[in-house]
Amino acid sequence: MQQKILILGISSFAGASFANYILNKKKKFKVFGTFNSAKSFPIRSLLDNQKLKKIKLYRLNLNKNNVLFSLVKKIEPDYIFDFASICMVNESWSNPSYYFQVNVNSKIEFIKNLNKLKKIKKFIYISTPEIFGSNTKKIKEKMNNFNPTTPYASSKLSAEMFLNNYINDKNYKIIICRFSNFYGRGQSLYRLIPKLIWCLKNNKKFPLHGTGDTKRDFLFDEDFNNGLFKVLNKGKIGSKYHFSGTKFYKVKEVINKLLSIKGMKFNDCIKFTKDRKGKDQNYFLDCEFTKKEINWEPKINLINGLKKTIKFYESKNLIIKKKDLKFSIK
């Protein structure tokens, strides 16, 4: 019998990328997904009609009481991956209550009742290193020196803290995964790397927020999806896992590497603009526990990941809409 995977937030980049990865596996799974928009850029670019026919999609308003619990009870999935959150840091300042409603409050009743869903083997929650704020040292899986600096990060930390109430109860089967800057094929075009590729292709200057000196590690989609699949197979209930790229980079270093691949110069392609409020300056996840626990480590370095990403966007005849280039809360 095929195992069932429910992907909450399948219209997100992470959700659509993982769905595409699962559908390409030799071992076949029955895939279900909840979404806001079936016409989102990640879905349009990653999941063709043939793949979409293999997914049972549900458009859900998670703010309605018990709607998620009722769906899960009906589907009886073996695994749930929760990508369903809104994650634009800048916009979270203008509507923080909406971020808390979607990212925290909408799931409280469902999480509280997870123990009643006996067929679930794992509930895997996708979180972010932004709950720690800016750090000069690697962030270990078991660290708890939280310092969120934006409403978005605060909402994700609040969700984690609520999950922590139940994480040690084996009846709830909760695992938390934190991922660094995840990029690659099918990422929404308002994000750093795909927007830069789009600007270069359309002879427009890329707007760089601040000085470009903020430091991040960048994780390519193959490594991200391999990590999640390892958690599905080997992850232990109650654990927290970290997934990061191979190296720490300044944002302007990433931009320069992409420009060098294209044979272009920084000053010809970039314009500086005002930095975003409350943006964390540096963060880098330590993955040693994850490597030992589930035998995972990143394999795609930044240059190879950028080359694959560029090839994806330049090889596809994608229909780009104005809303693909700008995030907005409705």
Domains in the chain, CATH or no CATH each: 3-183+219-246+280-299 (3.40.50.720)
Q: pLDDT tens, 210-226?
A: 899 988 889 999 999 99
And the tokens for 255?
């931009």
Interval 140-158 mean pLDDT: 92
Are the C-beta atoms of residues 132 and 140 closer than 8 Å to each other?
no
Residues, the chain: 330
Q: Residue 39: which pLDDT band, with cuts at 50, 70 and 90? A: low
Of the CA atoms within 13 Å of residue 76, those in its CB half-sphere come to 4
DSSP code per residue over 47-101: --HHHHTTEEEEE--TTSTTHHHHHHHHH--SEEEE------HHHHTT-HHHHHI
From residue 290, give the alpha-carbon distance in Å to each of 89, 170, 293: 27, 20, 5
Tell me which amino acid residue 132 is: F
Q: What is the pTM of this model?
A: 0.93
Q: pLDDT tens, 41-100?
A: 888 889 888 999 999 999 988 878 789 999 999 999 999 999 999 887 778 888 999 999
Q: Residue 204 pLDDT more than 70?
A: yes
Q: Residue 183: which pLDDT band, with cuts at 50, 70 and 90? A: very high
**By three-state DSSP, how is residue 271 classified?**
strand
Strands (E), the chain: 3-8, 29-35, 55-59, 79-82, 122-127, 174-179, 181-183, 206-209, 215-220, 240-243, 248-250, 270-273
Other beta carbons less than 10 A from residue 41's beta carbon: 24
Are the C-beta atoms of residues 104 and 86 closer than 8 Å to each other?
no
- Cα–Cα–Cα angle for 80, 83, 85, nearest 5°? 130
pLDDT value at position 227?
98
